Amino acid sequence: MKQDIYTKIKEGSLKYEDYIFEVLNNIENRNKEINAFISINQNIKNEIKNIDENIRNNKERKLEGMTFAVKDNILVTGLSATAGSKMLKDYKASYEATVIKKIKEAGGVVVGKTNMDEFAMGSSNETSYFGVVKNPHNLSKVPGGSSGGSVAAVASGMVDVALGSDTAGSIRQPASFCGVVGFKPTYGAVSRFGLIAMSSSLDVIGPIAKNVSDCEMIFDIIAGKDDYDATSVEVVSENKEWTLDDVKNLTIGVPKEYFVTGIDQEVKDNINKFISKLKELGIKIKEISLPHTEYAIACYYIIMPAEVSSNLARYDNVRYGSKIDDLNIQNLKDLYFKTRGDGFGREVKRRILLGTYVLSKGFYDQYYTKAQKVRRLIKQDFDKAFKEVDLILTPTCPDVAFNFGAKKQDPISMYLSDIFTVPMNLAGIPAISLPLAKNKDGLPIGLQLTMPEKFDKKLLKISKIIELLINYN
C-alpha cells in the first residue's frame, strides 16, 4: 500500500473499504484493455473488515492491507482456478494454497486471479483460453509469460504486488518484459501445496513487485517448510542488512555463454554498461563459464513434458475437467478422447504428446534418463562457478517484449525466450530479475542475479543494494 494511503487510513481520513472500492474500480477500467485478470474476489468486503481497525490501532500485521493479484493456478478458496485453460473454466478452488493461507494471516488482500498461459505453458500469454494479456508499456507487445497477468497487474499499478509461478522463467521473463521485479526462489523454499502442477520438479511460487523490498517482505511470509509439501525446505537465514561496502567485497561472475549471438544488441549493451559501472565502483567482475548452458532448453523440453504428461492425466472429466454434455460420448475412451481434445489447447496437447513419447518403452532411457544426466551437469556447472564467485549476473532474457503473433507459429523461437532463465530451474537455485533500463522504444530490459541453493535471503539483501545502483525510471 502506498505510504500516503496508509497515512490517511491511520489518521482516519480514509476508510480501507473505500480505498479497496477505488482499487476495484480502477481494475475494472484498466482491465478492459490489459486483460490481466480472469476473475475478481467477490467476497473481498467480508475479508477486509478488520484492516481499518488494525491500522488505526497500530496493530497491523506484516502485509496489512497490501493488495495481491494471484496467478490463476494458485488456489484461493472460493475463487476461480482455471490455470488459463478451458478444461478448468468453471472450477472454483475448494481449499487454500499454503502461500495464500500465510498471506491472508499476515493481512494481505487477494483482489483477484490473473490471466496466464494455459497450465503455465508459454512465454507470451498467447496460449490462455481467456485471451491475451497486453504489455502495459506498449499494448501491441506481449507481456511475457506465463505469469503475464500477475506481472501486468503490478506493472500497470492495478495492485501492489502479485504471486506467480516459475517453472522455466515464468516469473522472471514477464518481469523483465514489463519492467518490474520478479523473484524465483530456491526449489522447495515455498510450498507448492495448492499450486496446480505443471512440472513438479521445477515449479516454484514467487513474488512480483515494483521493488526488491516488497519481494523480500512477501518471500519472508510465504517461505518455509510445509507439512503438505514433502519437497519443501528451509532456506539459510540472513538477518543483517547489506551495504554497498559489503557488496564491494563480492565477486560477481558473468558467464560467457550468456552473451552469444542472437542476443538483442540493446540488451547486451545495457548489461555491459552496468557491468562497467559495477567495476568502476570496485566490485570484482569475473568471466566464468557455464559450459552446459546450450543444452538447457533441450533438457527442459524432455523433463518438463514428461512431468506434464503425468500431471495433466488427472483432467479426465471424471475427477476434474469441464463438463461437456453435447459430445455424444459412447464409452470411457471416447470420454477421454473428446473431453481432453476439447478442453486442452494446442500447446498443452503438444507437450502431453511429447511427454508421452519420451516416457514410452524404448525411448525412456534414450530421452528421459539422458536428460536427467544433463540436468545434473547443468547443476554442476553452477556448483563449480559458485566456488569462484559469490553471485552470477546475466541478462534475464535475450530480447525485449515482442509483438503479438511474432513467435506463435514457431514454437522453437518461443522456447528460446527462456534460454537464460531455465538453467536456474533445472539447478533449483534462486534467481531474481530487476528492471535495468529501457530500450530506444521504451521497452524494459531485465537483469538477472542468481546465487547458490537456499541463499535466497542473501540474494534479496544484495539485490536491494544492486537496485540502488540502477537508474530505471
Active site residues: 71, 146, 170
Nearest to 71 by CA among 113, 124, 126, 22: 113
**CB-nearer residue toward ligand GLN: 52 or 166:** 166
For ligand GLN, the binding residue among 65, 107, 112, 169 (CB under 6 A) is 169
Is residue 167 near ligand GLN by the rule CB under 6 A?
yes
**Chain length of the chain:** 473
CB of 49 to ligand GLN, least distance (A): 35
Q: How many residues bind ligand GLN (CB under 6 A)?
A: 14
The CA distance from 219 to 288, in Å, is 29
Residue 425 CB, nearest distance to ligand GLN (Å)? Answer: 7
| Residue from 80, 82, 85, 170 binding ligand GLN (CB under 6 A) | 170
146, 186, 232, 396: residue in contact with ligand GLN (rule CB under 6 A): 146
Q: How far is the CB of 456 from ligand GLN (least distance, A)?
A: 18
Considering the complex, state which of residue 12 and residue 131 has its C-beta at the smaller distance from ligand GLN: 131
Residue 72 lies near ligand GLN (rule: CB under 6 A): no
CB 40 within 8 A of CB 24: yes
Q: Which of residues 109-138 bind ligand GLN (CB under 6 A)?
A: 120-123
Omega before 146 within 30 of 0, i.e. cis? yes
Query: DSSP string spanning 3-68?
Result: HHHHHHHHHTSS-HHHHHHHHHHHHHHHHHHH--EEEE-TTHHHHTTTHHHHHHTT---TTTT-EE
Contact status: 418 vs ligand GLN (CB under 6 A):
yes
Q: Which of residues 213-252 bind ligand GLN (CB under 6 A)?
A: none
Q: Using an 8 Å Cβ cutoff, are 137 and 179 in contact?
A: yes
Q: List CB contacts of 416: < 8 A, sequence separation 6 or more.
A: 262, 297, 398
In the complex, what is the shortest distance from the CB of residue 145 to ligand GLN, in angstroms, rounded to a whole number? 6
Q: How many CA atoms lie within 13 A of 426 on its CB side?
A: 32
Q: Report 284-323 residues binding ligand GLN (CB under 6 A).
A: 304
Task: Scan for cell 516416457, then name that residue.
Answer: 359
Minimum gap (Å) between residue 304 Cβ and ligand GLN:
6
Task: Specify the residue, 114 or 165, whose C-beta has the smaller distance to ligand GLN.
Answer: 165
Q: Return the ∠ at Cα 200 (arms to 195 and 205), rounded to 5°.
A: 45
Chain residues binding ligand GLN by CB under 6 A are 120-123, 146, 165-170, 198, 304, 418
